Amino acid sequence: MSKKLILVTNDDGITAPGIRALVHEMQLLGEVIVVAPDSPQSGQGHAITLTEPIRLKKVKVFKGVEAYECTGTPVDCVKLAKHVILKGRKIDLCVSGINHGSNASINIIYSGTMSAAMEASIDGIDSIGFSLLDFSFKADFNAAAHYARRISQEVLKNGLKECKLLNVNIPAVSLKKIKGIKVCKQADGNWIENFQEGEDPRGQKYYWLAGEFLDKEYAEETDLHALQNNYISVVPSDHDLTRHEAISHLNHFENL
Amino acid sequence: MSKKLILVTNDDGITAPGIRALVHEMQLLGEVIVVAPDSPQSGQGHAITLTEPIRLKKVKVFKGVEAYECTGTPVDCVKLAKHVILKGRKIDLCVSGINHGSNASINIIYSGTMSAAMEASIDGIDSIGFSLLDFSFKADFNAAAHYARRISQEVLKNGLKECKLLNVNIPAVSLKKIKGIKVCKQADGNWIENFQEGEDPRGQKYYWLAGEFLDKEYAEETDLHALQNNYISVVPSDHDLTRHEAISHLNHFENL
């Protein structure tokens, strides 16, 4: 049997410790190709590069692994991997991360990590985004890496059927303290935002986004509740943004 | 009774004809504030600017309307409007567009227009993205503007209850040829993509995203079917990306 083909990407850039940990685990499961941004791309959401060209460069970053850095967004990386680098070769799994910081709750919509995984899933590729709840570059990726491998192994073995995209978040605790995995829904969490205002060296005013996540008690079936209780959260997701149950309540619009 | 407060934004930039048409209609419905990008931001999805400061400049672009151009993304514009310009004033409606080009089907996930509207809806603001199926800057916005006003008027009057976000697309035909409005779901449409490869003036290779939307027959309840038949499509949406019906099928992950 031929080896499974695993595409690895992220949004923190190809030199981030999180992707290094993920590549290491994926090498145990199949043939690994890495296409990742050449610089940090956090908060890029599902952005694609339309108005300018993208550069792609083969790099030696991971021992024994074919790897490319790309000047584009995380979603650009996946598109280039599919159309230019792998040119129609079947990708068995796309994994993105391990992200430095949470992509649970509302964070999924801003996340380059999750958008890259979603981009692969649009073509029917089983795709998983992994995120560790620790922004530090010195974060301990042991537990996250361990579960990234187990979850990826299960997906490679049995496939994803009902949806092609999983959002996996891992609490920032040691492997021993993790209580297990919960399959759950996205919590309706909030950021309390503000803008830092300042003046640049030329006397021009600027604004810089700041803020913190509102930490409250979350309902039991949500990702934030699982994470608060030291469980890994697994949320099934995809690219259909229709609020299906609202359709029948909006029929009066058809009379406008 | 005080006038309703309407926030207008877009992703084609503050000088695009589409936003001009939308501002004109919204002035008939309430007090209008415009915060829009200073340059085209198509394909920016839900990107936010984290690694650099954003500039904001009050501009006279629309007669009698307070307007600001912003160096950030469409989502940045909405955040700045909420936190810096309107500082907690209640926004009754956020409209985004009128976009030059379709945001039906899969296009919603790449769309700065829809992401800006979604960003407002997260805070419970009734929000609508409007898009005309014509990329041209010379497009005829008459029909789109007419229906943007009618739909906005309905939302200002009765509010959105089951969801706070509508994705409205308008076929590129004259007002007379539009058959009406259909409330529908997002079609599972496809782009057939490729990358144009080239060499820049310094001999360096580049890639530039190209492609075309696959036009096929779409199921009756979808936005693409409505648009193909000269109906305006209205798709209810929001920021919950959970595939709820898949949760119970993934329980075996809890045993890993």
Cβ–Cβ gap A209/B250 under 8 Å: no
Question: Across the strands, what pairs with A210?
Answer: A194
| B95 falls within a domain | yes
Please, which residues have CB within 8 angstroms of residue A66's CB and are 6 or more apart in sequence?
Answer: A32, A33, A34, A58
| A195 falls within a domain | no
Best mutation target among B46, B107, B128 (most A Cβ atoms within 10 Å) is B46
| B146 falls within a domain | yes
Max Cα–Cα distance, chain B, nearest Å:
65
Q: Which residues of A touch B73 (CB under 8 A)?
A: 47
A186: nearest CA partner in chain B: B242
* Sheet with strand B165-170: strands edge to edge: B56-59, B66-70, B31-37, B5-9, B93-100, B127-132, B165-170, B231-237, B180-183
| A212 falls within a domain | no
Q: Are strands A231-237 and B5-9 parallel, antiparallel or unpaired?
A: unpaired
CB nearest to A193's CB, from B79, B166, B249: B79
| B131 falls within a domain | yes
Per residue of chain B (256 residues), give pLDDT as tens.
679 999 999 999 999 999 999 999 999 999 999 999 999 998 999 999 999 999 999 999 999 999 999 999 999 999 999 999 999 899 999 999 999 999 999 999 999 999 999 999 999 999 999 999 999 889 999 999 999 999 999 999 999 999 999 999 999 999 999 999 999 999 998 888 899 999 999 999 999 999 888 878 889 999 999 999 999 999 999 999 999 999 999 999 999 9
Q: Are B34 and B62 in contact (CB under 8 A)?
A: yes
Q: For residue B19, what is the domain's CATH number?
A: 3.40.1210.10
pLDDT of residue B60: 97
Mind telling me how many Å the CA of A163 is from chain B's nearest CA?
A: 7
Q: Which residues of B touch A151 (CB under 8 A)?
A: 253, 256
| B16 falls within a domain | yes
The pTM of this model reads: 0.95
The total number of structural domains that make up chain B: 1
Complex ipTM value:
0.94
| A162 interface with B at CB cutoff 8 Å | yes
| B212 falls within a domain | no
| A183 falls within a domain | yes
State which residues form the domain around B16. 5-188+219-239
Q: Are B42 and B70 in contact (CB under 8 A)?
A: no
Place of tokens 């789109």: B144
